[in-house]
Amino acid sequence: MKEMMDLQLLMQHREEMLREVELNRQTEALWALGKGRAGRRSALVWEMSRYAGHLLKLLGRRRSLS
């Protein structure tokens, strides 16, 4: 019985390690993708432009209501 529990624990540990390896691989792939397209700075500029666009759109609606 103890051997069965040990085997189950080993299999569970192996599955956890495989999941962790896959997660690390995906994380590295995302980092590489971001670096290839000019990195985090361009993403920040894009996000700021997006928020500015939303703000200008909101202000434009308020002007048209007045």
The whole-model pTM stands at: 0.46
Confidence tier at 22 by pLDDT (50, 70, 90): very high
Query: What's the domain count of the chain?
Result: 1
Confidence tier at 1 by pLDDT (50, 70, 90): low
Q: Which of the pair, 24 or 61, is modelled with greater confidence?
A: 24
Contacts 24+ apart (CB under 8 A), 2-10: none
Confidence tier at 17 by pLDDT (50, 70, 90): very high
- The length of the chain is 66
Res 6: pLDDT: 85
Judged against a pLDDT cut of 60, whether residue 36 lies above it is answered with no
Full residue range of the structural domain in which residue 60 is found: 2-65
